[in-house]
Structure 1
Amino acid sequence: MRLIDVCGAMATRLSPVEHDKAVARTSHLPHLAAVLVAGRLAGAPPDHLALSGQGVRDVTRIAASDPVLWQQILAANSQAVGELLGELRGRLDVLIDAVHNDEWETLRSILGEGVAGTLAIPGKHGGPVRPMLSVFVSVPDNPGELARLFGDAGEIGVNIEDVHIDHDPGRPVGLTELVVEESRAEHLLDALESRGWTIHR
């Protein structure tokens, strides 16, 4: 506990079994899901891959981790990971049937499960989830432009909670998504636009 205090960390007490279940649910299963999605991209036609946007990058980013390391991680927690993979396979079977058989109510229910799951993830600093909105800004792909954008947002008095950048394959700009508190989004939009930034409403 003294080491934890010195590091400025917070301790969470779990039994060994609960620890294994927790990391399987929040780390190991997401990694394997990303691996399966990313695997469908390997060898895909170039004209398919040219349409890649931020969504596929978000889902597959962690799949690029070291396979040897992850083989060791999974081997050390195979029981808990295997149980969750079984649950995931069951829901995937239901999803496949729903899509093939046009069972739209079932599909809507599964999509709703995804929304509920994202809302269950703790918010900033472990607190409740706060309503957020995304503000989209075109940023020239030149050194210093992101720093200028963040500087302008800081001067405006809006805290950026998260950021994503999607590079336009046809133009030397990046579409930058600034995630901010919902109550501050409109103010940020107007202020950035007044400073000459190209805003996408």
Structure 2
Amino acid sequence: MTLERTLIVGTGLIGTSAALALREKGVAVYLSDVDAHAVRLARALGAGQEWTGQRVDLALIAVPPPSVGQRLADLQQRRAARAYTDVTSVKVDPIADAERLGCDLTSYVPGHPLAGRERSGPAAARADLFLGRPWALCPRPETGADAVRLARELVSMCGAEPYTVSAGEHDTAVALVSHAPHVAASAVAARLRDGDDVALALAGQGLRDVTRIAAGDPLLWRMILAANALPVAGVLERIAADLAAAASALRSGDLDDVTDLLRRGVDGHGRIPDKHGGPARDYTVIQVVLQDRPGELARLFNAAGLADVNIEDIRLEHSAGLPVGVVEVSVRPEDTGRLTEALRFHGWHVPPVPDGNSRIDRTRAMVSD
């Protein structure tokens, strides 16, 4: 079975991004949404054409969790597709709704791409949103092999990596790695409402990193959290206990508990897989101060390319009120010397890299006038 015609139901960030990725692979894409304006915008972006009842190979349902079951039932009643999948970030409740509504579960493959942005809507969509990202598929025992093959083909065409997991395991996992972190980031960001202008003027990249996801749509996140409430509550209770212990230790002046939390944080952070999918690797991070002007990033990438150095990761930090920014480029330790020499050759001043014992060493390359 080959995926040639796809229906996208829900033209928000995820649905439109999937549509754009599929269009790049030559798939005929049809679009449907209760918001006619969203469909028009997605069409204008080149995501596909409006659905008028054509039968397709696979229908991708990209609507909030409470709506998945009913939308699946409606589509199956119209015989819209040979197979169906969805992209909601919770799985147990939508499957239960589908069962309650009498949906045909043999043609339904529950799914969830672990990708997104803090922005929402079709205007935020990107064809490369899913590249290299895990995409959970949660087929039931009764799910047909043809439906699973079509769902996996869609995941592959979007550039993601399929990961088969049960619905219960999925919801427990995303509570830890997605849902609870969003609430925790929101709790930190909420404190900023009371911050004065002096405090906010001193905000750095660390605060932006911690609070970035807090900019998500509160109403959408309310629906997500409601559908995964108990697993998320359990994670938040454990986070709250750690924070309460840290606060108590700070008040008493005995910082052993705080130190223990910081060490466990380092260990936990080190377990986050790197871009290759395995354990986090040791990289040297070179900090490059760039002038805020056209072509500076290109000049940096060109220097790395000429040195035959692969930039493993990159992070950009703007300097508020200043015409410069800091780019952190991560490279393999064995490539540090070549990149350092290349940067010096192309006009940057690079101090010697320290022989640090930490997992990540840093050096700074200053702009040369």
Task: Count residues in correspondence.
Answer: 201
Matching of residues 7-18 of structure 1 within 5 Å: 7-8=155-156, 9-18=160-169
SS in 1 for 2:169: helix
Q: Which protein has the bigger helix share?
A: 1
Provide the identity percentage.
43
Residue by residue, what CA displacement relative to the aligned partner does 1:106-133 show, whole Å, maximum 9, x if unpaired? 2211100100101111122212321012
- Alignment of 1:172 with 2:320, yes or no, is no
Q: Which residue of 2 aligns with 1:197?
A: 348
Shift, 1:96, TM fit: 0.9
Matching of residues 31-110 of structure 1 within 5 Å: 31-110=182-261
Shift, 1:14, TM fit: 2.2
Shift, 1:165, TM fit: 1.8
Maintained 8 Å contact 1:164/1:177: yes
User: Relative contact order (C-alpha < 8 Å, sep 6+): which is higher?
Assistant: 1
Residue by residue, what CA displacement relative to the aligned partner does 1:124-172 show, whole Å, maximum 9, x if unpaired? 2212321012111111111221122112212212211222222223431
Letter in 1 for 2:214: A
Structure 1 residues 198, 66: CA separation in 2 closer, same or farther (over 3 Å shift)? farther
Q: Which residue of 2 aligns with 1:143?
A: 294
Query: Structure 1: 5+ residue runs without aligned partners?
Result: none
Maintained 8 Å contact 1:138/1:198: no
SS in 1 for 2:164: coil
Letter in 2 for 1:158: V
Shift, 1:181, TM fit: 1.9
| Greater alpha carbon shift after TM alignment, 66-75 vs 150-159 | 150-159
SS in 2 for 1:126: coil
Q: Which residue of 2 aligns with 1:22?
A: 173
SS in 2 for 1:11: strand
In 1: Cα distance, 2:171 partner to 2:293 partner: 45
Q: Which residue of 1 aligns with 2:72?
A: none
Shift, 1:185, TM fit: 2.4
SS in 1 for 2:172: helix
Shift, 1:186, TM fit: 3.4
* Residue of 101, 107, 125 corresponding to 2:276: 125
| Greater alpha carbon shift after TM alignment, 130-139 vs 179-188 | 179-188
Cα-Cα RMSD: 1.7
Maintained 8 Å contact 2:271/2:279: no
Letter in 2 for 1:193: R
Residue by residue, what CA displacement relative to the aligned partner does 1:38-85 show, whole Å, maximum 9, x if unpaired? 111124211111111111111111111111111111111101101111
In 1: Cα distance, 2:293 partner to 2:285 partner: 23
Structure 1 residues 136, 27: CA separation in 2 closer, same or farther (over 3 Å shift)? same
SS in 2 for 1:72: helix
TM-score normalized with structure 2 length: 0.52
In 1: Cα distance, 2:286 partner to 2:348 partner: 12
- Alignment of 1:4 with 2:149, yes or no, is no
**Bigger Rg, structure 1 or 2:** 2
Letter in 1 for 2:153: D
Shift, 1:194, TM fit: 1.9
In 2: Cα distance, 1:185 partner to 1:99 partner: 39
- Alignment of 1:111 with 2:278, yes or no, is no
TM-score normalized with structure 1 length: 0.92
SS in 2 for 1:107: helix
